[in-house]
């Protein structure tokens, strides 16, 4: 494929935008290539500035579950725009979408709209601290919750240590309040809780990890977190920015039958427009300003364009058979790629939860960050670039999730599996 125009645009972008991109993973740096610049999208396909077409399994990093430019969403947003893009004042649309989210997500009794997933997790943690009067938080290696200071933290020298900053610009005094456990390890959580009794405000977790590839929770892991939090007075936060409305209409908490105290959601509830939300138990949410003393605000929160796109998208997702059909498509893609790898004699570890899936380039199982980080990233980079040349657009990192939309056709899936078979043979 010809990518000349993308190369030129990237060079121009680097002169005015740090690294040439506005979100680091878009840089294609981990696969040793320049990013593809996209011009438009439709259904299951995206089209770059050089005229190349790709079957898209990124879906704007998850929210395009109903495909790009769904006619109903486009029409609704156009009509909303006729009335104004933003007012900085309440609209009825906010209440409509709030009620739809509350009806869908088991843990949410009240909800606050924001403009991004980072804003949602940052605000949820502040509220948990305000509600409990405690300072420490507990997160998991390999789970990403946005770029707020307290969350850019690694575990340090041991499993039960205070965190240290994982990025320049994060004060150590902030990071020291973040404890880091291993995903899928209740023992690491219990050790941290025992060493920091009555000081942990919340445990925040991706119930289905999506930021080290797709890593499902092991049996008993989420149940164990729920029990620990209940016994210790800790707020349990499910970060469902990625899994919410993806793995089920009510998210991972519906799928696994575990109800957290709070939940964060992302752009899927805005049809891909800039939106996020956090919600939970009424007694917690009522501590939030202006009802309570925990401050949070945002001028564009609940803007009419995002609310309209969200209402329309959720109505599409509620249609009978939507998730059953999506599950069938996702199963075909995930299993087809795994079989192609096996036929080529190339070892991968395949995972899938609903319409989230991943092919890990490793012979072993992946269930936490240490096992994920053992993957052969150089082999993945070769595979990624080969698939791109075959017209299949994946996330440019081994440690990201792929997403299936309702618009992926049988032909898309067949072509994807055929491309995977060819590409695995190239790198075997």
Q: Report, as residue numbers or ranges, the catalytic residues.
A: 144, 239, 267
Indicate the burial class of 238 (C-beta count within 10 angstroms; 0-12, 13-18, 19 or more): buried
Asked if 175 and 203 touch (Cβ cutoff 8 Å), the reply is no
Distance between CA 322 and CA 324 in Å, rounded? 6
Which residue is it, tokens 């092919």? 359
Q: Which of helix, strand or coil describes residue 365?
A: coil
145: left (phi over 0), alpha (psi -120 to 50) or beta: alpha
The pair of structure tokens assigned to 192 is 């941290």
**Phi and psi at residue 54, to the nearest 5°:** -135, 140
Q: Which of helix, strand or coil describes residue 278?
A: strand
Indicate the burial class of 231 (C-beta count within 10 angstroms; 0-12, 13-18, 19 or more): exposed
Dihedral in degrees, nearest 10, Cα atoms 260, 264, 269, 271: -140
Could you write out the DSSP letters of every residue in 129-140?
HHHHT--EEEEE
Asked if 194 and 181 touch (Cβ cutoff 8 Å), the reply is no
The residues, any chain, with a CB within 8 Å of residue 59's CB and separated by 6 or more, are 65, 68, 403, 405
278: left (phi over 0), alpha (psi -120 to 50) or beta: beta
């Amino acid at each position: 494929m010809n990518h000349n125009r993308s190369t030129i645009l990237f060079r121009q972008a680097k002169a005015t935008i740090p690294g040439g991109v506005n979100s680091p993973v878009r840089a294609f740096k981990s696969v040793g290539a320049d990013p593809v610049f996209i011009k438009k999208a439709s259904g299951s396909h995206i089209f770059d500035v050089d005229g190349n077409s790709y079957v898209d399994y990124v879906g704007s990093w998850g929210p395009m579950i109903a495909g790009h430019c769904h006619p109903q969403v486009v029409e609704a947003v156009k009509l909303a725009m006729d009335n104004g893009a933003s007012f900085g004042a309440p609209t009825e649309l906010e209440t409509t979408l709030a009620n739809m989210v509350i009806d869908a997500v088991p843990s949410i009794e009240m909800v606050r709209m924001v403009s991004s997933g980072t804003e949602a997790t940052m605000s949820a943690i502040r509220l948990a601290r305000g509600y409990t009067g405690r300072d420490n938080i507990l997160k998991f290696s390999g789970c990403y919750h946005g770029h707020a200071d307290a969350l850019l933290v690694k575990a340090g020298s041991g499993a039960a240590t205070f965190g240290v900053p994982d990025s320049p610009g994060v004060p150590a005094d902030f990071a020291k309040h973040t404890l880091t456990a291993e995903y899928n390890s209740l023992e690491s959580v219990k050790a941290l809780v025992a060493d920091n009794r009555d000081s942990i405000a919340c445990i925040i977790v991706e119930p289905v990890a999506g930021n080290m590839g797709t890593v499902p929770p092991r049996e008993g892991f989420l149940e164990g977190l729920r029990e620990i939090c209940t016994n210790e007075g800790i707020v349990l936060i499910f970060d469902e920015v990625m899994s919410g409305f993806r793995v089920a209409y009510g998210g991972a908490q519906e799928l696994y039958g575990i109800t957290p105290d709070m939940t964060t959601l992302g752009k899927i509830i805005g049809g891909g427009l800039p939106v996020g939300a956090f919600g939970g138990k009424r007694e917690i949410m009522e501590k939030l300003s202006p009802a309570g003393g925990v401050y949070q605000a945002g001028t564009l929160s609940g803007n009419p364009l995002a609310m309209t796109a969200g209402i329309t998208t959720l109505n599409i997702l509620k249609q009978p058979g939507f998730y059953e059909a999506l599950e069938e498509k996702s199963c075909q893609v995930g299993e087809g790629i795994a079989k192609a790898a096996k036929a080529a004699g190339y070892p991968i570890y395949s995972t899938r939860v609903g319409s989230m899936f991943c092919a890990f380039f490793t012979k072993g199982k992946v269930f936490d960050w240490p096992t994920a980080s053992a993957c052969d990233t150089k082999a993945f980079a070769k595979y990624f670039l080969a698939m791109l040349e075959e017209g299949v657009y994946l996330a440019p990192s081994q440690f990201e999730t792929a997403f299936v939309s309702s618009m992926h056709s049988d032909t898309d899936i067949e072509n994807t599996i055929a491309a995977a078979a060819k590409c695995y043979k190239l790198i075997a």
